A and B are shown apart, each in its own frame.
Chain A
Amino acid sequence: MRRQLRQPRQPRRSRPILATRAVSGKSSGQGTHSDIQGKTQPPAPPAETDAAAFAAEAGDGPLSTPVPDVLAADHERLLERSLSDNLHALRQALAGSPDMVMHTLTNGSLDMAVIYVESLADVQAIHQDVLIPLHQAATSELRVGLAAGLEDWARVHVPMALRGQVDGVASAVAAVLRGDALLLVEGCSGGVVLRAAKHKERAIAEPDTEALIRGPREGFVETLATNLSLLRRRLPTAALIVETHTLGGYTRTQVALCYLEGLAPQPLVDEVRQRLARIQLDGALDSAYLEEWLEDHPFFPFPQIQNTERPDTTAAALLEGKVALLMEGSPFALIGPVNLWGALQAAEDYYERYLVVTLIRSIRFLFLLFALFLPATYVAISTFHQEMLPTKLLLSVAAAREVTPLPAVLECLLMEISFEALREAGVRLPRIVGQAISIVGALVIGQAAVQAGMASAPMVIIVSITGIASFTIPRYNFAVAIRMLRFPMIILAGTLGLFGIVLGGLLVLAHLCSLRSFGQPYLQPVTPLVWSGLRDVLVRAPHWLQPVRQSKVRRWWREEAPRG
């Protein structure tokens, strides 16, 4: 797999935080290099502050041109010519890592050392491709070219992929901690990093959160490289740009910003870069950490960034001109900008025939409204507007409610909360137990509550329909937002009846209208209106009617106030 590195195009200007700087200095030193490629790289732009270096964290620069870091310049020890001094320095630096191996070997008069972390590196390969060749080569041959430079020398004598050369102790330590092997030679300053990292990774499996009946079944895993390969195989084009950034003071997590050049609007890419540069974290363990830093409106429930486990969904988003972020250690890609209608679209919508999909989408939309308004409407009608029910239905409801002690609002709130609890229990418990618990719990509690007269049967029906409705929303985080909003709606309905619901609905609407995702209006193709965009909102027009090679986001992109 080949990765293409791109330099971020704008300098980063945010100021550092003292605490994080201290952390970064202490933990793993400066100048960790995320990715190296054999070819020459454009030099990193001169970062103006140490924070810039912190944020960019050498991920931007190749080994041959170490990041000019004020801190590093002050404190980093360079690797000396003396092997024993170097080993001493490394031993000191890695004192807390008992699984570090320092393998010294002597071929004739040439002393060499290979340093790696046993638990991270491919010991077998090091043995095979480094130790044995170096050991068995004739000393005279081995000395050839040593004076010219360590990296070129290693290219000749070590049959293992090179990452490049390191000059400082700190960068050497960082390389070792990433799983690579460091080769030091007596009498040569600096060391060579050999690509020896190997870790166990999960097999590519079908994503559990976004299952489908027809369509690709691959899902992202926790390894960035694998994920990028999944993405690249779908988009084998030079237009796919992957920029890596390193985040997290301790974790040094790599984040890949992916977009298709020419399709993604440049302001969007700049905006995402700018927001990435603003992130200051000790550790980034999942892409969710980034999401909260990147979103436009952090206080409101609606998600403004999509997450997906599916490479095909990610590729489709890139083709629409969106931007995707992949992160080491997270199987979830982040995609932005998004809109409300996207929350009602599942990956399968594009793999099924369009008529079916259109029907299913309208059902989803209907049930979205149910999930938000159904319990509230029931409460409003049964406590304020009884005249709206047909007489027979009213009498049945009245008969059912004759014995229940609680007011409808409280009953509804209690039932909804218990439902949420059941759902939560079902998710958290081990899968097999969880399902049993949720089904049995619902049945037993529901049935028993009705029979005991604690809850009325219509309420149980309403709550179950609402529950089903909230599960028809393809995106989990969006469904959660709807679930959250349901409770204020119930309270409003209990206090002001239908008027309360209408008012609440208007406020939610106003909120949605003012929401933005990466600066783009949240309700976009519908309002502000983009006619061509309506082909993929509630109706999915057939693929041959969808515009070809025109990025949605680019066409909709608005720098200023919207028209439409």
Chain B
Amino acid sequence: MGQRGSRRAPDQARPSQQPNRPDMQHRVPGLPAKVSNRQILTYITLVTIAYGHFVTIGLVFRAAGRDAWVATSLGCLLGGGVVWVQFCVWQAARGRSLMAACTEALGRWLGALISAVYGLLFVCLAAFTLREQALFLGLIYPTTPPLVFMFFLLWGSVWVVRSGMEVAGRMAQLCLPFLVLLGLLASLATLPDKDFLRLLPVLDHSSMQLLHATLLVVSLFCDWVVVGALSDGVDQPQLLPRQAFWVSCLLVLAFLGPATGPVLVFGEPLAQSLAYPTYSEIQFIRLTGVVERLDVIGVLLWTIGSFLRLVLYLLAVTRVLHHVTGGPRSQLWAVPAAWLTAGCAISLLPLSREDLHTLLYQMYPLCALVLGLGLPALLWVAIRVRATRRPQQQAAA
């Protein structure tokens, strides 16, 4: 989806690395994992689509009801801007990553502190993902303790994190077309049940509600700050801002279906009261005589999405830990990162789904805006100021 510019990849000179001989790849310490721009964008797209469809859309319905699609489209376009700003900030830093930008803007110690804050954010988001997925699976497995799901998800993702970023990138590259296809089929299958009259009247909600819903979508894009922690492992980081902007604009298409589907099928009141409206929509599909309800697709879509989201955040946490401590190999931090996440997720256990969703509904958009847009923007300013001051200082000296 829209990774323009990455075609140029083969012509670009790349930093020389140790030869990736098959028998060496496990032995060579610190062999930097590189992924292509296409892979990282596919990855973040998949994660955004899966989590957005699964949780955010439900919250957007709660805020804006049948106008969710307006808020979503608006949010995706604004989100494109947010993403563009973020990647520009990482570009401004020499290491082309979030941590490098922190260091560059704030100096070594303060930079490490802010990096650690981001690390904490990633741990929290990973834990939220874990908890959310466990709660979702709780619908299907009412008596299984959520810890079981959390354990298996975490264990699997640690395995992937240890295998390296390129493995995760490949997984996403393989999964995304498949999941998009399933999603398209699902929205086609719901077509007979859709009543387009239910979208009317348009914009009947107050502008505050619409704004809230838009913010919820924008916060989804603020989460792309996580790519900043990984963007130094990307083939051509300098192309990322533009590519990411277009990808997030294209995501409007991916979100239009789920942002209208539940309202079209269930009507506004019911869509607002369902915990996972898109999942209920998939459940509602009946292909006469063949499949009674397509829960499978839901479980598949959201388990894969949550899993990869978890992997993404864990990868980011390992990178941050690696940066802060300066260890030999970031993958070695996979298990500690998983322990941190597990601790955080277990502390979230007492929260019910309603609490969690209220938290995500009320608090999170602001938090995401601060950490995903505000802070990067500040960093940018700081980097600029330093960059302009440095020649002056040199001149003065």
Contacts and interface: CB of A to CB of B under 8 A. Distances in A.
A and B touch in the complex (CB under 8 A): yes
B130 to A, nearest CB: 13
B88 to A, nearest CB: 23
A528 interface: yes
Contacts of A388: 291-296
A523 B170 contact: yes
Contacts of A275: 23
A523 B169 CA distance: 12
A322 to B, nearest CB: 15
B166 A509 contact: no
Contact of A560 (B9, B34, B167, B293): B34
A300 to B, nearest CB: 12
A498 B159 CA distance: 20
B187 interface: no
A25 B117 CA distance: 67
Contacts, number: 132
A180 B175 CA distance: 60
Nearest to B137: A499
The residue in B20, B32, B294, B307 that gathers the most chain A C-beta atoms within 10 A of its C-beta is B20
Interface residues of B, number: 53
Interface in A530-564: 558-564
Given A518-B22, A563-B235, A390 B290 contact: yes
A526 interface: yes
A1 interface: no
Contacts of A499: 137, 140-141, 149, 152, 299, 303
Nearest to A295: B22
Interface string B1-43: 0000000011000100101111101000000111110110000
Interface stretch (A254-262, A469-477, A500-508): A500-508
Interface residues of A, number: 39
A458 interface: no
B152 A503 contact: yes
A497 interface: yes
A357 B32 CA distance: 40
B28 to A, nearest CB: 12
A557 B334 CA distance: 30
B295 A510 contact: no
Given A499-B137, A528-B36, A561-B33, A296 B23 contact: yes
Contacts of A267: 19
B36 A559 contact: no
Contact of B9 (A498, A503, A518, A563): A563
B328 interface: no
Contacts of A527: 39, 169-170, 173-174
27 contacts: A387-B293, A387-B295, A388-B294, A388-B296, A390-B289, A497-B140, A497-B141, A498-B299, A499-B137, A499-B303, A502-B299, A502-B303, A503-B152, A506-B303, A506-B304, A510-B160, A510-B163, A510-B167, A513-B163, A513-B170, A513-B171, A514-B163, A518-B22, A528-B39, A561-B20, A562-B36, A564-B9
Complex A-B, nearest 7 residue pairs according to Cβ-Cβ distance, in ascending order: A561-B34, A513-B170, A527-B173, A519-B22, A563-B36, A296-B22, A527-B170
Interface of B: 9-10, 14, 17, 19-23, 25, 32-36, 38-39, 137, 140-141, 144, 148-149, 152-153, 156, 159-160, 163-164, 166-171, 173-175, 235, 289-296, 299-300, 303-304, 307
